Amino acid sequence: NSTQYDKIVIQYSNYLVTRLSGYLQRGHSSLSEVGETADQHDFEVKLGAILLLGLVLARCVSKAMFAKGGIDCSKQRSSSHKSTNKRGTFFGRGNSNDEKTTTDIGIHPRLTLSLTEPFVSKEVVKNMTLQDMAHVFSYASQVNTVGFDLELFFTHHENGDQEQGVRAVTQTAIQALHQAMAISRGSQTQLVARVDEAGGDTMDALAFCGAVRIFTEWRSLRCIPKGYGKYAFGMSLSHRDICQNIKKMEEAVHGMLLQSIYQEDDEKEETKTT
């Protein structure tokens, strides 16, 4: 029940605020090294904060979903519009094309961000910190701004009033996301740049999907301590649900992109006929 879920999140967040206040007053503000403190109360607060973040994220993502997933434009497309490029057949609902991985950018959009095997290696993700994850989401919010430069972002990323470079492991993750976004989008559509400043309320949908995918992989690798079997099981279910929701969003984006491409093709054909 949606209302009951919201109440649980609110009640749990109020409890965590009280616990975290006492924790922060003792001068331990970092949540990046979960499970490395000997104090059980401190550990529980850290664990709870990560759990709350996951609950809220899952809730936000689930609210953004279409009731029945993306639009399957391949069923709406007439036979005269079928492409000879087999990469354009990515949009099946089964497992035939969903799990094909390649670094080539095809003509049409193709599922990349929501595959079972993540687009960034687990060896990279498990070495990332909470600050590194902040850099990933910062990239996702800025990548579609006018004049965005990836190399400049790596070397002069702002952190409050300071400037610091992005760690090498995070650069690898962001570059993998950058490439995966391009493959998912396809060569016929480009990233639309917005004029407003970085940090605005407009984020590219595929960039968001990719950042959330990295986060959910990071959460599974870094935030499950040994000996917490039930918690690990719950996190695995959450990981599956988030990946399924990412797939729904990616399919919906692809449906819109294909619809736009087909509409442009139809307009060109009508112009030639006229």
pLDDT digits (tens, 9 = 90+) for 78-90: 333 333 333 333 3
- In this predicted structure, the answer to whether residue 124 has a pLDDT above a threshold of 90 is yes
State the DSSP string of 132-187: HHHHHHHHHHHTTBTT--HHHHHHSEEETTEEEPPPHHHHHHHHHHHHHHHHHH-T
Question: What's the average model confidence in pLDDT over 161-180?
Answer: 87
Residue 79 pLDDT: 36
Burial code (b: 16+ CB inside 10 Å, e: under 16) for 116-150 equals eebbbeeebbebbbbebbebbbbbbbbbbbeeeee
Residue 172 pLDDT: 96
Residue 257 pLDDT: 86
Q: Report which of residues 248 and 161 the model is more confident about.
A: 248
Residue 244 dihedral angles phi and psi, to the nearest 5° = -65, -40
- In this predicted structure, the answer to whether residue 136 has a pLDDT above a threshold of 80 is yes
Half-sphere exposure of 259 (CA within 13 A, CB side): 12
Question: What's the average model confidence in pLDDT over 118-129?
Answer: 95
Q: Which of 42-56, 152-166, 224-238 has the highest mean pLDDT?
A: 224-238
- In this predicted structure, the answer to whether residue 23 has a pLDDT above a threshold of 60 is no
Q: Report which of residues 103 and 248 the model is more confident about.
A: 248
Residue 119 pLDDT: 96
Residue 165 pLDDT: 80
Residue 87 pLDDT: 33
Residue 28 pLDDT: 45
Question: What whole-number distance in Å separates Cα of residue 261 and Cα of residue 264?
Answer: 5
Name the burial class of residue 167, with classes exposed (0-12), middle (13-18) and buried (19+) by CB atoms within 10 angstroms of its CB. Answer: middle
Q: Report which of residues 157 and 108 the model is more confident about.
A: 108
Residue 240 pLDDT: 94
To the nearest whole number, what is the mean pLDDT of the chain? 71
Q: Report which of residues 164 and 91 the model is more confident about.
A: 164
Residue 37 pLDDT: 45
Question: What's the average model confidence in pLDDT over 51-55?
Answer: 59
Question: What's the average model confidence in pLDDT over 193-220?
Answer: 82
- Residues in Cβ contact with 259 at an 8 Å cutoff, skipping those fewer than 6 apart: 71, 73, 76
Q: Which residue has the tokens 């990295």?
A: 214
Tell me the percentage of the chain whose pLDDT exceeds 90.
Answer: 36
- In this predicted structure, the answer to whether residue 157 has a pLDDT above a threshold of 70 is no
